[in-house]
Structure 1
């Protein structure tokens, strides 16, 4: 494999959905993701990548899922199954602990929080592409949740928009090993230029 190399002038870290509901004990979705996330140390790896990127002066962007508010979806004619599930579970409910950033992932001053995505892609109907372009970003490194939904959808959309994409395989998680395999071994290799480990990306960013 070609040695990994990233320029902080044109590379940004995109952190997807670090909500308490996803990655904290007591979160609504954590029980579904816990086994896979703990097996690959997803949350500690996410934090390690984020901390390294900050120390190396890479720009950080957050792509966050829409937080449930009372009345959401009620007058929509059609809902995707994933949206219907979020509605019924009140996932990431606005004004609740579950809808807050996990403490270690609260954006630092100057970091960009894109407008919330309503389905899976961090780009669809948000200002993430605009913010990346305004900051001169052409390459992105993606970490967060969930591998076969929001991560994969964001990676696919990024490739369509012309970004070079790296996914950190042990800084994402999913509901099962089968879903992780499908996302990381079958689907995303078509769109991500590199799918690497936390060890690899930390070494590359810290140079």
Structure 2
């Protein structure tokens, strides 16, 4: 892992969707992610970066996907494929083990949890930008899941808003190497 110097007054770590359904044995998406996540060392790298951020006294923000609740999508006129999948699979179901944050990545006192995003971007229809601005944050270190959806979308939105952005490429995963490559090597750069 490469290290970079950061000004902790203006830099924050953003952790995207570290739910049990993604990162834990028995999670609804773990079976699809497992090979890529294990090959990339995703789970230990997320933990390593999170511990380093806390030790360096960087602010840590969580951008969490909306946790499914019955009635969420039934009356919607248009549903994005990622939302339809969440509805069908009851991914990150509120009140369920899968909808809880992986036990090693639970926010600590002082970490900030933004309002949940409904589709892919941690910024769209959330208070993440407001929270970052209130804390004087200008540079983001971003990690989490999935590389080709929420991570990529959040990175793009952050760049559009004028944040300096670094992605921790070994602290993410996806359903396939092809999707990882497309997100990390083609789209994000």
Is TM more than 0.5 here? yes
Q: How does 1:9-158 map to 2 (within 5 A)?
A: 9-158=9-158
Partners in 1 of 2:132 and 2:43 — Cα distance?
24
**1:2-30 alpha-carbon deviations (Å, 9 max, x no partner):** x8321110000000000000000000000
RMSD: 0.8
Q: Secondary structure at the match of 1:66?
A: coil
Partners in 1 of 2:105 and 2:168 — Cα distance?
17
Q: Secondary structure at the match of 1:6?
A: coil
The alpha-carbon deviation at position 125 of structure 1 amounts to 0.1
Partners in 2 of 1:70 and 1:4 — Cα distance?
44
The alpha-carbon deviation at position 48 of structure 1 amounts to 0.1
Q: Secondary structure at the match of 2:170?
A: strand
Partners in 1 of 2:111 and 2:96 — Cα distance?
23
Partners in 2 of 1:85 and 1:96 — Cα distance?
17
**1:49-93 alpha-carbon deviations (Å, 9 max, x no partner):** 000000000000000000000111111110011110110000000
The alpha-carbon deviation at position 110 of structure 1 amounts to 1.1
Partners in 1 of 2:92 and 2:15 — Cα distance?
16
TM-score by length of 2: 0.98
Q: How does 1:185-200 map to 2 (within 5 A)?
A: 185-189=185-189
Q: Structure 1 residue runs of 4+, over 4 Å off? A: none
Partners in 2 of 1:81 and 1:33 — Cα distance?
18
Unaligned residue ranges in structure 1 (runs of 5+): 190-207
Q: Secondary structure at the match of 2:109?
A: coil
**1:113-133 alpha-carbon deviations (Å, 9 max, x no partner):** 000000000000000000000
TM-score by length of 1: 0.89
Q: Secondary structure at the match of 1:38?
A: helix
